[in-house]
Amino acid sequence: MILTVTLNAALDLTYRVPHLRPQAEHRVPPAVERPGGKGLNVARVLASLGHETVATGLAGGATGETVRTLLAETTVTDEFVRITGPTRRTVAVVDASAGDTTRLNETGPDVTPAEWAAFDDRYTHLLRDARAVALCGSLPPGVPVGAYAHLVRAARARRIPVLLDTSGEPLRRGIAARPDVVKPNAAELAALTGTTDPLRAAVAARRRGAHAVAASLGPDGMLALTPDGTWRATPPKPLPGNPTGAGDSAVAGLLSGWAEGLAWPERLARAVALSAATVAAPAAGEYDATMYERLLGQVKVSPLSPSGA
């Protein structure tokens, strides 16, 4: 199975309004509720690609129960550890006229040292059957900032491929533990390395310890620096739509390809096609399966000269 870790799970609430007017009162239909947090998005995509997928992390309170109830409606296996603090909410208000989204992301629950230790036990246990691991998203208060570094080392010690997708200090610490892949977006890469040129930034990120860097560059596709070579993967054309979850679909593409023994160019083609099919889907964070199949053959994967890297 593929294991995904979501330490700061979320109950995602999405509202659609014809026009968001600050200061005004809006009468709206009930929120669309989804299990959220990057790792859970990755898990859903992996499961719909047909992979046996186990999701672990921390969940608590009434919001945590709702997340788990929603997860039970999918084929993802729930191995979350229950905590006392309530799972955070995210609120997205989609403005239909402007075509944009206003977001409120709660920081997350306070996690006790005992809860973090219980998670660590569960994670170690789950690693036994894992063929690949995705560590995704922010850390809730109380979880040590070096948490991802610790989890990366545990997977690496068992020779299980581990992908890290986070930002800020948790990324900085985690990358030093030498994960197999990091998947930053352009902004995260620039924040980590201090340079905005994606190729130079990816080179700098790799020097910090990641075996491979697969950077998602929005409508421009992905750039990957790996032990096997350097590639740029681009979708046939930029697709209009909602980019929510596109990066998580890319992670699912990379990791499923890895678990299936595909080479880097095929992993990248899958990641970029899934990502584009997510942008094009009507619901945020879902992907359009027909479009994914169609795009898969159209993604262009070009080797870059090693001198560039």
Q: Which stretch binds its own copies (CB under 8 A): 35-43, 64-72, 115-123, 256-264?
A: 64-72
Min dist CB 196 to its own copies, Å, is 20
Stretch 21-50 residues interacting with its own copies (CB under 8 A): 21-31
DSSP-assigned letter for residue 185: B
Q: Which stretch binds its own copies (CB under 8 A): 47-55, 87-95, 172-180, 228-236?
A: 87-95
Q: Which stretch binds its own copies (CB under 8 A): 92-100, 196-204, 247-255, 266-274?
A: 92-100
58 within 8 A of 111, measured Cβ to Cβ = yes
Q: Does 69 bind its own copies (CB under 8 A)?
A: yes
Q: Please say whether the dihedral angle defined by the alpha carbons of residues 102, 106, 107 and 108, taken in this order, is positive or negative.
A: negative
Closest alpha carbon to 160 in 123, 131, 128: 131
Q: With CB under 8 A, what is the number of residues at the site for its own copies?
A: 37
232 within 8 A of 246, measured Cβ to Cβ = no
71 within 8 A of 35, measured Cβ to Cβ = yes
Q: Does 78 bind its own copies (CB under 8 A)?
A: no
Q: From the list 3, 7, 9, 13, which residue makes contact with its own copies (rule: CB under 8 A)? A: 13
Q: From the list 100, 129, 228, 293, which residue makes contact with its own copies (rule: CB under 8 A)? A: 100
Identify whether 248 is a catalytic site residue. Answer: yes
Q: Does 167 bind its own copies (CB under 8 A)?
A: no
Min dist CB 85 to its own copies, Å, is 9
Name the packing angle between helices 186-193 and 168-176 (round to 10°). 70
Q: Does 80 bind its own copies (CB under 8 A)?
A: no
Q: Does 66 bind its own copies (CB under 8 A)?
A: yes
Min dist CB 243 to its own copies, Å, is 12
Q: Is 205 helix (H, G, I), strand (E, B) or coil?
A: helix
Q: Is 64 helix (H, G, I), strand (E, B) or coil?
A: helix
Report angle CA 62, 57, 224 to the nearest 5 degrees.
130
Residue 250 C-alpha from the chain's centroid: 8
Q: Is 82 helix (H, G, I), strand (E, B) or coil?
A: strand
Quick one: 23 or 307, whose CB is closer to its own copies? 23
Min dist CB 152 to its own copies, Å, is 25
Quick one: 141 or 308, whose CB is closer to its own copies? 141
Half-sphere exposure at residue 250, Cβ-oriented, CA atoms within 13 angstroms = 32
Min dist CB 69 to its own copies, Å, is 7
Quick one: 143 or 163, whose CB is closer to its own copies? 143
Choose, from 12, 165, 248, 288, the residue flagged as catalytic: 248
Q: How far is CA 223 from CA 51, 121, 160, 181, 254, in A?
A: 25, 35, 23, 12, 12
Q: Does 106 bind its own copies (CB under 8 A)?
A: yes
Closest alpha carbon to 56 in 119, 114, 111, 118: 119
What is the number of other CB atoms lying within 10 angstroms of the CB of residue 144? 14
Return the active site residues: 248
Q: Which residues bind its own copies (CB under 8 A)?
A: 13, 15, 17, 20-31, 62-63, 65-66, 69, 86, 88-89, 91, 93, 95, 98, 100-109
